[in-house]
Amino acid sequence: MKVGVVTFPGSLDDVDAQRAVRLGGNEAVALWHGDHDLKGVDAVVLPGGFSYGDYLRCGAISRFSPVMTEVIEAAGRGMPVLGICNGFQVLCESHLLPGALIRNQRQKFLCLDQPLRIESNRTAWTSAYDEGQEVVIALKNGEGAFVADEETLDRLEGEGQVVARYLGENPNGSLRDIAGISNERGNVVGLMPHPEHSVEDLTGTGTDGLGFFTSLAAAVLA
């Protein structure tokens, strides 16, 4: 599969995401935030970083980038889209996912190896995992607390749209320990931890994040 990785001004993890895409058995295609062109890709990754310096709100300016017009339309047609950390924030600002990400409960940037439980393997990005599987994936954020109103939280829980949940101590104050969610269709996933930093034994936290990238081929071939 051809997987586009968008670079915004301030993206930090676009090259890491491209490498993870390749390790997952796919072709990585660099996409530029200022272009109205997805270059014929089959899926899109919005990487982590500080797009547009996180001015206004995290992801709020990126939501209006020309490439996001194409991403929003493609997601509506069913194209798989994964937003990681800042990319998760962009997805919420774009209304492709509900809720919002706010400052960590302790008002500090954090970086750690985070245990997670995969709550749903019924998305384009998580089919390689077992439901309930426990993994460890790198986490680094300053505004990673997922919030939504009670009605939205109940709907996410009831419809199986909670993709991953923090295990152990909640690192950032996310409501109901939510680390990642999907849309109803399951093609759009937002994840606060960084699976692209957990794809090799030599560096990072091991290979528990690789499944987010190997899942794609299985989802398309299914």
Q: pLDDT tens-digit profile of 197-213?
A: 999 988 778 999 999 99
| Active-site option among 33, 85, 93, 143 | 85
For the chain, the helix, strand and coil percentages under 3-state DSSP, each to the nearest 5: 30, 30, 45
Strand partners, 4: 29, 44
DSSP 42-103: SEEEE--B-GGGG-SSTTTTGGGSHHHHHHHHHHHTT--EEEETHHHHHHHHTTSS-SEEE-
- Our answer to whether residue 111 is catalytic in this structure is no
The model's pTM: 0.94
Confidence (pLDDT) at 203: 78
Q: DSSP assignment, residue 130?
A: P
The pLDDT tens digits for 124-161 are: 999 999 999 999 999 998 889 999 999 999 999 999 99
Query: Of residues 70, 93, 119, 196, which has the active-site annotation?
Result: 196
Whether the per-residue pLDDT at 180 is higher than 60: the answer is yes
Q: What is the pLDDT of residue 220?
A: 55
Using DSSP's 3-state secondary structure scheme, residue 2 falls into strand
| 3-31 confidence digits (pLDDT tens) | 999 999 999 999 999 999 999 999 999 99
State the Rg of the chain over Cα: 15
CA 170-175-176 angle, 5° bins: 75
The model's pLDDT over 46-89, given as tens digits with 9 standing for 90+, comes to: 999 988 877 777 777 888 899 999 999 999 999 999 999 999 99
93 belongs to the catalytic site: no
What is the residue type of 1?
M
Q: What mean pLDDT is predicted for residues 116-125? A: 97
Catalytic entry in 58, 93, 119, 194 = 194
- Cα–Cα distance measured from residue 36 to residue 22, given in angstroms and rounded to the nearest whole number: 24
Determine the pLDDT at residue 216: 87
